[in-house]
Chain A
Amino acid sequence: MLKSDGLKKVKNDLILVGVICTLSLVGFLIFKLTMKDGNRVSVSINGEEKYSYSITDNVETDIITGNNGENNNTLVIKDRKAYIKSATCPDKICVGHRPISKDGETIVCLPHKIVVSITEGK
């Protein structure tokens, strides 16, 4: 009697372990998958999000900044990738940056205080 009770308990525990392991594996896979391509391209100027596009959009747009609108960065979204095609900033680091497409990737234009970032989106 005592023996079979104990065995039953072990059996239940095993099932529980099985369920938990499967769930955590699913969680792990989801985590890994979201590390991949992002869905949105977000443009923030001096910390404020100003524009947001779908990564599937076809966009070529001028991001105008500066007190008198004297600064320009041309953002291109094409083939699920975003990049800065040209800019009036002195260092041109943003123009030299590779196209971005993965969740969490950013292109920063320090002189113009622009961050183009890829987010998971909804």
Chain B
Amino acid sequence: MKKIISLILVGLIIIGITSLTGCQKDAVYEKFTDYSFDYFDTVTTIIGYEKSKQDFDKNCDKIKGLLDEYHKLYTIYNRYDGINNLCLINSVKDSEHSELKVDQKIIDMLNFAKEMYELSDGKLNIAMGCVLSIWHNYRQDGISSPINAKLPPYESLIKANEHTDINNLIIDEKSGTVYISDPQMKLDVGAVAKGYAVEKIAEYMKQNGMDGYLLNVGGNVRAVGNRRDGKKWTIGIENPDTDDTEKTYIEYLEINDMSLVTSGSYQRFYTVDGKNYHHIIDPETLMPSDRYLSISVLCESSAYADALSTALFSMELEDGHKLIESLKDVEAMWVITNGQQIYSSKFKDYCTKE
């Protein structure tokens, strides 16, 4: 009897002490935040709890060094001297020199993208570069000159879509080379590269004792390890109905060592004749898919969360729901066009009232 009581007490004390050290450490660890605009064409936020600004800056420099490296390898918009990156892969034309030796980080990411293509039944296709670049150009022009905003001619999209077969991306693991056998095909890794890079950086951080950090690369949120003050991160999911001034956030999630990625049709869009056209293009219709206002995916890996949130956008709710439920420890929330929120089976376990 006595033994049972003391066991129960020990249990209680452990719970108590964990929360107590949470309070004590609070005084020692200070919160630091860093913003940068140099990676993946978006804003990066790094938040960490450290004893001094120097400790934080030291870790930030390492994280940013890695972000810089991945950005330069994965960008399709810029070339860098001495780096065989995605932009170079896309521009190699000469069939004699078309097998390009690339960094293992590129091969791993492309293999992951192929895996996502299979998993999403082709809804996520990095070989869609030709189609996506047409939309990209029309969107950029439409944003900088709204009066002249136009939709891409459908014929041009259909024509571009003839060069989107991912099987024409040939990866030779042994020689470390990449080759596109369709000379007109282009890669656009926008839906996978950022999340994949963030996940690889999170792995590095965990191995090097940088626990308790939060990386947010353009809405790709990765909570790395457990926070040093024993608390969880609270993350609000924005209300995609931007006209609703009352309700800024539709859900608050409490997470540790997980990723949350929200893809929205409400942020990167342009307007033609009063209708908004966003940046996630359905591979079947070649048009922006208009089933959802936003989709949030919650799972440990930032790579999966990023890729799945884009793939789900082009999938029927029922199919997407089935896919998420078939994956272990992956949850999602869909906001359909009428504002209704649909949840996967355990998504709400992470929700908190605020």
Contact = CB atoms under 8 A, between A and B. Distances in A.
Interface of A: 6, 10, 13-14, 16-17, 20-21, 23-24, 26-28, 30-31, 35, 44, 46-47, 90-91, 93, 96-98, 105-106, 108, 110, 113, 115, 117, 119-120
A82 B12 CA distance: 44
B345 interface: no
A98 B144 contact: no
B143 interface: yes
A28 B20 CA distance: 10
Shortest 10 CB-CB contacts between residues of A and residues of B: A20-B16, A24-B19, A27-B23, A113-B37, A115-B35, A90-B144, A13-B9, A47-B35, A47-B36, A17-B12
Nearest to A24: B19
B267 A93 contact: yes
16 contacts: A10-B2, A10-B9, A16-B13, A17-B9, A20-B13, A20-B17, A23-B16, A23-B19, A23-B20, A23-B23, A27-B20, A35-B234, A35-B354, A44-B35, A46-B37, A117-B33
Interface string B1-34: 0100110010011001101101100100001011
A73 to B, nearest CB: 14
A90 B143 contact: yes
Contacts of B168: none
A109 to B, nearest CB: 9
Given A24-B23, A26-B23, A47-B35, A110 B16 contact: no
Contacts, number: 70
Contacts of B42: 110
A21 B14 CA distance: 11
B265 to A, nearest CB: 14
B241 to A, nearest CB: 11
Nearest to B231: A31
Category for how many chain B residues contact A: 20 to 34
Given A24-B16, A96-B242, 10 more contacts: A10-B2, A20-B20, A24-B19, A24-B23, A27-B22, A27-B23, A30-B23, A98-B248, A115-B43, A119-B33
A90 B12 CA distance: 57
B245 A98 contact: yes
Contacts of B354: 35
Given A47-B37, A96-B242, A21 B9 contact: no
A28 B19 contact: yes
Interface in B64-83: none
A31 B230 CA distance: 11
A10 B43 contact: no
Contacts of A91: 143
A119 B45 CA distance: 14
A62 to B, nearest CB: 20
Contacts of B20: 20, 23-24, 27
Contacts of A21: 12, 16
A90 B22 CA distance: 45
Interface in B200-246: 231, 234, 242, 245
Contact of A108 (B9, B33, B43): B43
B131 to A, nearest CB: 22
Contacts of A35: 234, 354
In this complex, the member of B34, B35, B45, B248 whose beta carbon has the largest number of chain A beta carbons within 10 angstroms is B35
Nearest to A113: B37
Given A44-B35, A47-B37, A110-B37, A10 B5 contact: yes
Contact of A27 (B19, B31, B234): B19
Contacts of A115: 35, 43, 45
A94 B277 CA distance: 19
Given A10-B5, A10-B6, A27-B20, A47 B234 contact: no
Contacts of B231: 31
A119 B31 CA distance: 10
Nearest to A48: B35
In this complex, the member of B2, B16, B20, B248 whose beta carbon has the largest number of chain A beta carbons within 10 angstroms is B16
Given A17-B12, A115-B35, A110 B144 contact: no
Interface string B239-267: 00010010010000000000000000001
B277 to A, nearest CB: 14
